[in-house]
Structure 1
Amino acid sequence: MTDKIYDLGAGFWNVRGSFLKDGITDMGGQCSLIKLESGRFIFLDSYALTGDVREQVMALTNDGKDVEAVLNVHPYHTVQCAQMAKDFPQATFYGSERHRKQVPEVQWSDDLVESDAVAQRYPELEFAVPEGMYYIAPEESVHTGSLLVYHPASRSLHVDDTFEMPPSKLVNMVQLKINFQMTTKQALKDEPNAGKIYCDWVAGLAHKWRDTSNFCVAHSGLVKFEMGEFEKALLATVDAARPALEDS
């Protein structure tokens, strides 16, 4: 997969690229670059930038010197953090507890990426951690939980694994359907009503971020929604999933 950068307006760029699972299957990967009101920049997620995309990012960010932070928003996306730290050595790196354990060579901030301290530091963004679901699941193979980030100015939502789009090249033309990650049921907390809590959280998110236009999904690509379509699609997904999830 060739790396591409998409200018989504209002100081938000989404980078789409490759991630080889087991060195064979290209699952696709992403990071997003955001220009803050201060004129400086932050990344959402780590990605090893190469070629023309790297040149474009460096041109935007004063050869990387204006990148102040990298927010690693998925506890299980750790493979490219070390390279990102080498590319932007002056940036503050935020991650989860799992990032710290998996990539100890990176100098991580004391503030966890999902903390209120980080959210307050970046008022241009809105953050959400799934409710009723483990952010870092006890079972290592369950990668559903992540920190979701919405950029109201560009109406862009950056999400890793928690939500997905169907793996169809025609998705933009024939349907706008959102999927839950396949391990969603296993990711629910071992607590009463966890399924209902999660479904209610998703429905609330659909209403809160109803204006989402640019849906940046880690392994599914960049999808465009018309006004009102995101809310409709996400509510349809949670309504369909409720019986199974609330029965867990």
Structure 2
Amino acid sequence: MKQLAETFWNLRGVYRVGGVLDIGTHMSIVRRPDGRYVVIDGCALDEPQRRALMALTGDGALVGAVVHVHPFHTLHVEATHRLFPAAALYGTARHRRKAPSLPWAGTPVEEWGGDHPLADVFDLSVPDGVDFVCPDERVHVASVLVRHRSEGLVHVDDTFNVVAAPGILRGVLPQSSLRMHPMLARGLKQTAGAADAYAAWARRVAVEWADTRIVCAAHSAVRTLPAGGFREEVHAALARVSRTLERHRARHG
């Protein structure tokens, strides 16, 4: 577990594709102004990670809320709830369908407006132009992006990626800049205007969150940015998928 700011911690977990390639996953922990904590997402914890997390949060008693923000990140929802059973539990509609016995609070996270339950610390954004839950369940383009407003940190699952080499190569090979999800073409809605809506959303986030200094990406690394770097890298990521967007426009309008 790494402290990235005064009130923000990120914990990296293992997630293997096909049981072999570790593309990583994560969870974040944020201390609110009242001293209580919000846990974003969940992942498998080894014993040192579990001890560190519980030590930070008063053996879990100081966790006031757990929020799951990617509809297809469901493997560790129940285990995370067992760690923090007294915390208010928030998730997407798909989380609720997959774990209906859990005590879900409020409305699905993807439906939250500006007055959402965690608005004292977080700005949220859901990408336009893509299916939030794609009919092809192998496609995980969309999620609810979470920005810690005062610290300038973004927690994101899948929608933006940071590619980093595995194992000992990570210290030798440079990580990538921000990238759009590689299956964006299959995540776009099959309707006219979807490509333009997605591009407009990306440009809007790049401007509104321009002072972001760190991006915690589930797959597969934390990226530290210079001043203005978030806006530049989101624009560059959008430029890299321009042909994907043009093909969609040619087909759907």
* Residues 1:71 and 2:71 aligned together: no
CA contact (8 A) 1:172 1:224 kept: no
Normalising by structure 2, we get a TM-score of 0.89
Task: Return closer, same or farther for 1:115/1:31 CA change in 2, 3 Å cut-off.
Answer: same
CA distance in 1, matches of 2:50, 2:144: 25
CA distance in 2, matches of 1:180, 1:171: 23
* Residues 1:133 and 2:135 aligned together: no
Count of residues in Structure 1 that have an aligned counterpart in Structure 2:
244
CA distance in 1, matches of 2:105, 2:170: 41
Cα shift at 1:159: 0.5
SS of residue matched to 1:202: helix
Query: What one-letter code is carried by the residue in structure 1 that aligns with 2:126?
Result: V
SS of residue matched to 1:114: helix
SS of residue matched to 2:45: coil
What corresponds to 2:139 in structure 1?
142
**Residues 167-206 of structure 1 mapped to structure 2, 5 A cutoff:** 167-168=164-165, 174=174, 177-206=177-206
Encode CA deviations 1:100-127: one digit per residue, 9 max, x unaligned. 2222342222421223268522121100
What corresponds to 1:19 in structure 2?
15
Cα shift at 1:23: 3.4
Query: What one-letter code is carried by the residue in structure 1 that aligns with 2:30?
Result: I
What corresponds to 2:54 in structure 1?
58
CA distance in 1, matches of 2:32, 2:199: 32
Cα shift at 1:234: 1.1
* Residues 1:100 and 2:96 aligned together: yes
Cα shift at 1:175: 6.6
The runs of at least 4 consecutive aligned structure 1 residues that moved more than 4 Å come to: 169-176
Task: Return closer, same or farther for 1:99/1:175 CA change in 2, 3 Å cut-off.
Answer: closer
What corresponds to 1:156 in structure 2?
153
Query: What one-letter code is carried by the residue in structure 1 that aligns with 2:127?
Result: P
Give percent identity, aligned residues only. 32
CA contact (8 A) 1:133 1:198 kept: yes
Structure 1, 117-126 or 107-116: larger mean CA deviation: 117-126
Query: What one-letter code is carried by the residue in structure 1 that aligns with 2:209?
Result: W
Normalising by structure 1, we get a TM-score of 0.91
**Residues 202-217 of structure 1 mapped to structure 2, 5 A cutoff:** 202-217=202-217
CA distance in 2, matches of 1:27, 1:175: 13
CA distance in 1, matches of 2:32, 2:185: 36
Structure 1, 192-201 or 166-175: larger mean CA deviation: 166-175
Long gaps (5+) in structure 2: 249-253
SS of residue matched to 2:110: coil
Cα shift at 1:244: 2.2
Query: What one-letter code is carried by the residue in structure 1 that aligns with 2:112?
Result: D
**Residues 29-44 of structure 1 mapped to structure 2, 5 A cutoff:** 29-44=25-40
CA contact (8 A) 2:162 2:175 kept: no
